[in-house]
């Protein structure tokens, strides 16, 4: 008998892409996609269930279909639809609690994969340069998505204690950057001018969606217990990334950024306190465990993932002229 996989958060890009991947997987019989809104793209042979994971109905779906693998992707950093921070927290934390409660009661369940984020490590000047899976954050995230992700992981640890027979994998992704990915960080490089924090230059790490998808697919179809960091090799500095994007930077004093963030949120730009702390202190993770134990080496480095992303968004007009001038002067000199 084949496998039945349930994927949450399929309305978003990564979720629907994973469902299409699993459709083609030979040992997967049935794929069920769940989300509160209908997916924008076609899910192929997969079934879509429009359900809110905060609702106990999810338990019925899992029970009736005898789901053996749950891939939980609906913990998101972007505000869901029209709702604000409260709605996001509700969906992230309460949704996970309900889902885990349903999973705990499902005898058919063999595997649980949870998409988390490297945001759980926080960002502070007192942290080591690279976080390993065992590093305790110096300053625990106190707000926003990072706090949600940390709470979600805490509930997952509780689930692991109660259902030790289930292979549980927690994947901490660095910022996924690519076409169709809508996150605060991709939004940042979509702006005509990239805001930076005055006096700081954050180290950033990116994952290409191809790598994110490959890791999720493997986690869904193979047994990999434990927590793994997922990030492209190497880092880019925020200023360096902005230059590669051909965009001018606008250094803002940290405090001013926090105040401006309150106003800009209404204008569509989500300059949340956690994004500001990321842009201030930066964050990089060690992926040795992913490479050695999980057995996957990301094909795109951070720089390559960013370059791919740039090829997909329109280049900035800002530094074009300066680059041309310097180039011309350079060739004249040679």
Partner 1 sequence: MRLREDEVRGGDVMSDARVIPFNPDDRGRERAAARAGAPETGLTDAVREAIGARGRVLDRKAAGALAFLRRRISGDYEVDEFGCDPDLADNVLLAPFRPLYNTWFRVETRGLENIPEGAGLVVGNHSGTIPLDAIMTMLALRDHHPEQRRLRPLGADLVFGLPFVGEYARKAGATLACGPDAERMLTSGELVGVWPEGYKGIGKPFSERYKLQRFGRGGFVAAALKTGAPIIPTAIVGAEETYPVLGNSRTLARVLGVPYVPLTPTFPWLGALGLVPLPSKWFIEFGRPIPTDQYPEGAADDPALVFDLADQVREVIQQTLYRLLMQRRSVFT
The one segment of 35-43, 169-177, 206-214, 320-328 that binds partner 1 by CB under 8 A: 320-328
Stretch that binds partner 1, among 3-11, 98-106, 193-201, 265-273 (CB under 8 A): 193-201
Give the nearer residue to partner 1 in terms of CB position, either 3 or 208. 208
Q: Is 322 in the site for partner 1 (CB under 8 A)?
A: yes
Q: Indicate whether 155 belongs to the interface with partner 1 (CB under 8 A).
A: no
CB of 206 to partner 1, least distance (A): 13
| Minimum CB distance to partner 1 smaller for 267 or for 330 | 330
Identified binder of partner 1 from the candidate list 35, 68, 127, 151, rule CB under 8 A: 127
- Does 52 bind partner 1 (CB under 8 A)? Our answer is no
Burial of 84 (0-12, 13-18, 19+ CB in 10 A): exposed
Judged by beta carbon, residue 82 or residue 331, the one nearer partner 1 is 331
Supply the minimum distance, in Å, between the C-beta of residue 123 and partner 1.
Answer: 11
- Specify the residue, 164 or 324, whose C-beta has the smaller distance to partner 1: 324
139 is a contact residue toward partner 1 (CB under 8 A): no
What is the 3 state secondary structure string of the chain? CCEEEEEECCCCHHHHHHHHHHHHCCCEEEEEEEECCCCCCCCCCCEEEECCCCCCHHHHHHHHHCCCEEEECCCCCCCCCCCCHHHHHHHHHHHHHHHHHHHHHCCCCCEEEEEEEHHHHCCCCCCCCCECCCCCCCCCCCCHHHHHHHHHHHHHHHHHHHCCCCEEEEEEECEECCCCCCCHHHHHHHCCCEEEECCCCCEECEECHHHHHHHHHHHHHCCCCEEEEECCCCCEEHHHHHHHCCCCEEEECHHHHHHHHHHHHHHCCCCCHHHHHHHHHCCCECCHHHHHHHCCCCCCCHHHHHHHHHHHCCCCCCCHHHHHHHHHHHHHHC
The least distance separating partner 1 from the CB of residue 311, rounded to whole angstroms, comes to: 9
Residue choice 21, 90, 201, 308 for contact with partner 1 (CB under 8 A): 201
CA-closest candidate to residue 57, choices 11, 109, 8, 102: 102
Q: What would the x/- binding string for partner 1 be over residues 79 to 118, using CB under 8 A?
A: ----------------------------------------
Q: At what angle do helices 209-221 and 13-24 cross, to 10 degrees?
A: 50
Tell me: does residue 26 bind partner 1 (CB under 8 A): no
Query: Should residue 126 be labelled a site residue for partner 1 when binding is judged by CB under 8 A?
Result: yes
Closest separation between CB of residue 211 and partner 1, Å?
18
- Check residue 170 for interaction with partner 1 (CB under 8 A): no
Give yes or no for residue 327 binding partner 1 (CB under 8 A). yes
If one asks whether residue 164 binds partner 1 (CB under 8 A), the answer comes out as: no
125 binds partner 1 (CB under 8 A): yes
The answer to whether 291 contacts partner 1 (rule: CB under 8 A) is no
Q: How many CB atoms lie within 10 A of CB 164?
A: 10
User: Where does this chain bind partner 1 (CB under 8 A)?
Assistant: 125-130, 132, 135, 198-201, 203, 234-237, 239-244, 246, 254, 281-282, 284, 307, 310, 315, 319, 322-323, 326-327, 329-334
């Amino acid at each position: 008998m084949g496998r039945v996989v349930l994927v949450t958060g399929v309305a978003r890009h990564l979720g629907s892409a994973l469902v299409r991947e699993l459709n083609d997987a030979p040992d997967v019989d049935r794929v069920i996609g769940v989300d509160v809104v209908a997916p924008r793209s076609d899910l192929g042979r997969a079934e879509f269930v429009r359900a809110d994971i905060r609702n106990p109905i999810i338990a019925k779906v899992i029970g009736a279909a005898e789901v053996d693998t749950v891939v939980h992707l609906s913990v998101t950093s972007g505000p869901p639809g029209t709702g604000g921070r409260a709605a996001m927290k509700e969906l992230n934390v309460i949704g996970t609690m309900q889902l885990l409660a349903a999973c705990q009661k499902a005898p058919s369940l063999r595997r649980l994969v949870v998409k988390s984020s490297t945001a759980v490590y926080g960002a502070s000047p007192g942290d080591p340069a690279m976080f390993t899976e065992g590093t305790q954050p110096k300053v625990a995230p106190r707000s926003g998505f990072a706090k949600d992700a940390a709470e979600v992981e805490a509930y997952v640890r509780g689930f692991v204690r109660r259902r030790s027979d289930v292979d549980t994998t927690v994947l901490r992704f660095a910022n996924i950057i690519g076409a169709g990915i809508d996150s605060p960080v991709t939004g940042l490089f979509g702006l005509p001018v990239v805001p930076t924090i005055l006096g700081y230059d954050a180290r950033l790490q990116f994952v290409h969606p191809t790598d994110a998808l490959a890791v999720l697919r493997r986690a869904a179809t193979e047994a990999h217990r434990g927590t793994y960091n997922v990030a492209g090799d190497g880092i880019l500095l925020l200023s360096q990334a902005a230059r590669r994007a051909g965009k001018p930077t606008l250094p803002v004093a940290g405090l001013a950024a926090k105040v401006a963030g309150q106003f800009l949120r209404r204008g569509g730009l989500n300059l949340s306190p956690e994004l500001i702390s990321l842009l201030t202190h930066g964050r990089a993770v060690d992926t040795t465990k992913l490479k050695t134990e999980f057995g996957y080496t990301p094909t795109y480095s951070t720089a390559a993932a960013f370059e791919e992303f740039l090829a997909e968004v329109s280049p900035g007009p800002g530094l074009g002229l300066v680059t041309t001038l310097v180039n011309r002067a350079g060739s004249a000199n040679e």
